[in-house]
Structure 1
């Protein structure tokens, strides 16, 4: 009996030490990575605010805007898998720094856009430059955190998405108004130039701040790095894991199912992020700054939901319903938004539910493929799933823009977004719980 108690005490002590080490790792890595993700997401979706002035200034249609917003993801799709595989060779800090500096320069170049073709080309180049950033961060965190800790830490990291909305909405609205006409240029041009600066600074900083693996980190003792390595070695799924070849990943039907599920998640997500300012304006709100401030509200609810669901999923070990429930809430939010008309409070309620519903599944989803992926398979699988699903980033804004031009309303587009989320939630039930639950 005393031996059992002693063993339990040793296990408890070891767990406490590991928890302390991971608090240290999290405080060191995650705030910086969140800032990087805020900058990345802001440069990706700030055209939603630029649209408030850009379309009338350049005489672009809603379809032109939607195609330009979406063509970003064609470049993203083409270069994402090679980017992640190269990151494994080059190392995270150098590759993430390269990605950020490149996209900052391209994002600033939107200042000079005059024609639809220039708009399309720069959006394609921006997607090509940013390809690999998000899946690269997911892979990077997999090299620091065992499976049992990933959902929570990814949820914290992905707070960068709603945080970009919370900060970026009011900031973008203010830039549009404060800089409109400055030196003879409209506010939307200054928006791209000013919001590219943080990515450039953070990209340079990433090269010096990040370390590729625990053993390289001078802020960890040898013993702490060894404990992290041991946790990674023993923290995998108890189910079969893909680790041999890249080809094996693409032949596994489970990967296709997961890619389709994530496609639905991304469809819902970009229906919101690229069109939030337009939807708020359509409810009767005027003024870029006021639209920007109100657009922050749904993202606050999104941030709260992301962290709450992520923490509870890791605590319980349950994965499927922690994805299904928010996706259904997101569908409900879109339906409410579609029927809100000029009722601003009702529209904000619908958008808040939609934001919580479409942002929450992002970090939680990766608990599914990471349950069966390891090694080179992880690098290729994560990038492949994210690249395929990223095509939804092309389909969603283009489809919504086309539907708006066709129907002169956002109602049909919102119902389509809701339907896609319901289909994605249903597909999750095809994954056996024993495969992904801890």
Structure 2
């Protein structure tokens, strides 16, 4: 079932107050709920970073084993993301996103039974398969409601879920691990996986009854509001260069450029989410709960930065420099934090790194969605996201390998800084006329 809107009249008179009221309804109906879904998704994806503080010692995992296990999630994610997004486009977001959340909740809870490296790898891979399509599916879903000139701000708000999951999830994970350790013969990390899996299953069920596939299905919108929203989407569709086929997406050089740019930015994002507890602990902070509190600071800075930059990008309808500057901020933050022996200085520059690196992802999606349309948009968004998220495999594994090799995270942080600079340079090769919409 396609989620595209019905054909429109050639002209719809749009009153500013009516338009504002329509978008306000859409925002409050879907955006906070989608944020909640993504907070749960991201927490279940990256809570392995906190589990590492106990699990690696309990199961005798090396840094390389942990890095490979953390990253192998993205191999499953990569293989199944494009077909998952195409299915979502055909059957609708309500059914497919509900299926995704329930499935990954069940697999995430199964991590409490991990007893060996192969089992760890297998479950991380299956978690990636289960979650494939969620994030690009939401990005695609937002294109059904918002035209490109409104999208950077909305995606930035939605993606605030990433640092929010760190702000609340890190202290929560640390508290669960400290408080429940030894209860009923289970380690703290086992309780953490079990407890944090429950919301995904519960919310997945709610999605089936709450989420609408598109504007036409929204019974909470008046006919006038539907017409206003559909008209804006239709106007944007006219500016795109035609609908890409799935095969055409793979042959489009712009898609591969976008994939490279996103790969660079995701490298920085996942370095923070998977290694933040370890980096904070290395500065001398003691106790899982205290590590969680301190590591929440950079994510709080990221929430503020990504929303301010997203609003500025939409207001000026400028995308390239609003990506380049945060990427360079991330590079500087990683470089200085890697060389600092002071907890205060390290946290300040990890905050700069988080504000820069995490801000890049929501701003990035204004680039490809400015020229993708139709089924090609479903496939193109999924392809870019799946290739880019291979960085989620490379980043933790690279840092873990380099730490085992050198005994320090410094070399890994320098490598990440260089990759962010390469991503910023690639952004400047895009045409302003193509992406500044």
Asked if Structure 1 and Structure 2 have the same fold, meaning a TM-score greater than 0.5 normalized by the shorter chain, the answer is yes
1:132-153 deviations in whole A, cap 9, x for unaligned?
Answer: 0000000111011111111110
Gap runs ≥5 in structure 1:
1-10
Specify whether residues 308 and 237 from structure 1 end up closer, same or farther in structure 2 by C-alpha distance, changes over 3 A only: farther
**Post-superposition offset of 1:352:** 0.3
215-224 or 394-403: bigger deviation: 215-224
- Residue 137 in 1 paired to residue 133 in 2? no
Give yes or no for contact 1:237–1:371 (8 Å, CA) kept in 2. no
Mapping 1:361-400, distance limit 5 Å: 361-400=360-399
Match for residue 299 of structure 2? 299
Give the whole-Å Cα distance in 1 for the aligned partners of 2:336 and 2:349: 5
- Residue 280 in 1 paired to residue 280 in 2? yes
- Residue 37 in 1 paired to residue 34 in 2? no
Mapping 1:41-80, distance limit 5 Å: 41-80=42-81
User: Could you say what secondary structure the match of 1:235 adopts?
Assistant: helix
**Post-superposition offset of 1:249:** 1.2
**Post-superposition offset of 1:215:** 1.2
- Residue 257 in 1 paired to residue 257 in 2? yes
Give the whole-Å Cα distance in 2 for the aligned partners of 1:367 and 1:428: 12
Match for residue 7 of structure 1? none
Match for residue 338 of structure 1? 338
Give yes or no for contact 2:244–2:372 (8 Å, CA) kept in 1. no
Give the whole-Å Cα distance in 1 for the aligned partners of 2:339 and 2:152: 34
Mapping 1:28-427, distance limit 5 Å: 28-236=29-237, 238=239, 240-341=240-341, 343-427=342-426
Match for residue 17 of structure 1? 18
Question: Aligned pairs, how many?
Answer: 427
Give the whole-Å Cα distance in 2 for the aligned partners of 1:13 and 1:101: 40
**Post-superposition offset of 1:236:** 4.3
Give the whole-Å Cα distance in 2 for the aligned partners of 1:336 and 1:173: 27
Backbone CA RMSD of aligned residues: 1.3
Give the whole-Å Cα distance in 2 for the aligned partners of 1:289 and 1:173: 4
Give the whole-Å Cα distance in 2 for the aligned partners of 1:244 and 1:13: 30
Match for residue 8 of structure 2? none
1:210-250 deviations in whole A, cap 9, x for unaligned?
Answer: 00011111111122112111110013474x53514111111
Match for residue 3 of structure 2? none
Match for residue 8 of structure 1? none
Give the whole-Å Cα distance in 2 for the aligned partners of 1:293 and 1:432: 42
Give yes or no for contact 1:146–1:232 (8 Å, CA) kept in 2. yes
68-77 or 177-186: bigger deviation: 177-186
Give the whole-Å Cα distance in 2 for the aligned partners of 1:226 and 1:17: 10
Moved over 6 A (4+): none
Give the whole-Å Cα distance in 1 for the aligned partners of 2:238 and 2:424: 23
Specify whether residues 14 and 235 from structure 1 end up closer, same or farther in structure 2 by C-alpha distance, changes over 3 A only: farther
Give yes or no for contact 2:267–2:392 (8 Å, CA) kept in 1. yes
**Post-superposition offset of 1:383:** 0.2
Give the whole-Å Cα distance in 1 for the aligned partners of 2:193 and 2:13: 51
Give yes or no for contact 2:14–2:228 (8 Å, CA) kept in 1. no
1:333-386 deviations in whole A, cap 9, x for unaligned?
Answer: 101111112x11011011101110111011111111011100011000000000
Q: TM-score, normalised by structure 1?
A: 0.96
Gap runs ≥5 in structure 2:
1-11
User: Could you say what secondary structure the match of 1:66 adopts?
Assistant: helix
Q: TM-score, normalised by structure 2?
A: 0.96
1:380-438 deviations in whole A, cap 9, x for unaligned?
Answer: 00000000111111000111110011111111111111110001001111101111113
Specify whether residues 313 and 12 from structure 1 end up closer, same or farther in structure 2 by C-alpha distance, changes over 3 A only: farther
